[in-house]
Chain A
Amino acid sequence: MKKTSLWIGAILVGINVVIALLTLVWLPYDPTAMSGGRLAAPSWAHWAGTDRLGRDYFTQVMIGARIALTVAVGAAALGGLIGTTLGVLAAFAQRGFDDALAATLDILIAFPTLLLAMLVVAASDGASLGTAILAIGIAMSAIIARLVRILTKRVLAQDYITAARCSGLGWGRIVLVHVLPNIAPTVLVAIALQFGLAVIAEASLSYLGLGAPPPNASWGQLLQSAQSTVFNAPIGVIAPGLALMALVLGINFLADGLRDLLDPERGAA
Chain B
Amino acid sequence: MGRYLLRRTFVLALSLIAAGLVLFVLLRLLPGDPSAALLSVGADEAQIAAAREQVGSDLPIWMQLGKFLSDLARFDLGKSFVSGAPVLPEIMARLSVTLPLTVASFLLAILIAVPLGIISALRADRWYGGLLSAVSQLGIAVPVFWIGILLIWIVAVKFRLLPASGFPMKGWEDAAGAFRALILPVVTIALVMLASLMRYVRSATFDVLGADYLRNARALGASFPQALIRHGIRNGAVPVISILGIELASTLLGAVVVERVFALPGLGSMLLLGIQQRDYPTVQGVLLVSTLMVLLIGFLADVIQRVIDPRLRETVTGR
Contacts and interface: CB of A to CB of B under 8 A. Distances in A.
> What does DSSP make chain B's interface, helix, strand, loop or mixed?
helix
Task: Bin chain A's interface residue count.
Answer: 35 or more
Interface string B250-285: 100110110011000000000110011010000100
B257 A207 contact: yes
B298 interface: yes
Interface stretch (A38-46, A54-62, A108-116, A157-165): A108-116
Given A112-B254, A118-B275, A227-B152, A204 B145 contact: yes
Contact of A107 (B15, B32, B137, B246): B15
A176 interface: no
Given A107-B18, A112-B250, A118-B272, A252 B149 contact: no
Given A103-B18, A122-B283, A248 B141 contact: yes
Contact of A249 (B138, B153, B158, B203): B138
B112 interface: no
Interface in B118-172: 137-138, 140-146, 149-150, 152-153, 157-158
A126 to B, nearest CB: 11
Given A227-B261, A230-B157, A207 B295 contact: no
B19 interface: yes
B295 A208 contact: no
A223 B153 CA distance: 12
B249 interface: yes
Contacts of A104: 22
A114 B144 CA distance: 12
Nearest to A248: B141
A204 B257 contact: yes
B26 interface: yes
Nearest to B153: A230
Interface in B3-35: 15, 18-19, 22, 26, 29-32
A223 B149 CA distance: 8
Interface residues of B, number: 46
B294 interface: yes
A248 B253 contact: no
Interface in A122-139: 122-125
A234 B153 CA distance: 8
B15 A245 contact: no
A200 B137 contact: no
A127 to B, nearest CB: 10
A220 interface: yes
A142 interface: no
A230 B145 CA distance: 14
Contacts of A107: 15, 18-19, 22
Nearest to A269: B203
Contacts of A200: 142-143
Given A107-B18, A123-B31, A208-B256, A230 B152 contact: yes
A231 B158 CA distance: 7
A248 B142 contact: yes
A110 B137 contact: no
A244 B145 contact: no
B29 A123 contact: yes
Nearest to A210: B275
Interface in A183-222: 196, 200, 203-204, 207-210, 220
Contacts of B152: 227, 230
Contact of B146 (A121, A208, A209, A244): A244
A10 to B, nearest CB: 16
A249 B141 contact: yes
A115 B141 contact: no
Contacts of B207: 269
A111 B253 contact: yes
B146 A223 contact: yes
Contact of A244 (B18, B143, B250, B283): B143
A122 to B, nearest CB: 4
B142 A114 contact: no
B254 A114 contact: yes
B249 A207 contact: no
Interface of A: 103-104, 107, 110-112, 114-115, 118-119, 121-125, 196, 200, 203-204, 207-210, 220, 223, 226-227, 230-231, 234, 237, 241, 244-245, 248-249, 252, 269
29 contacts: A104-B22, A110-B249, A110-B291, A111-B291, A112-B249, A112-B253, A114-B254, A114-B257, A118-B256, A118-B272, A122-B275, A123-B26, A123-B29, A124-B31, A196-B141, A204-B144, A207-B145, A208-B272, A226-B149, A227-B261, A237-B146, A237-B149, A237-B153, A241-B150, A245-B138, A248-B141, A249-B141, A252-B141, A269-B207
Given A231-B157, A269-B203, 15 more contacts: A110-B291, A112-B250, A112-B254, A114-B256, A115-B287, A121-B275, A122-B278, A123-B26, A123-B31, A207-B257, A208-B260, A230-B149, A234-B153, A249-B138, A249-B141
Interface of B: 15, 18-19, 22, 26, 29-32, 137-138, 140-146, 149-150, 152-153, 157-158, 203, 207, 246, 249-250, 253-254, 256-257, 260-261, 271-272, 275-276, 278, 283, 287, 291, 294-295, 298
5 closest Cβ pairs, A-B complex: A248-B141, A249-B141, A241-B146, A112-B250, A122-B275
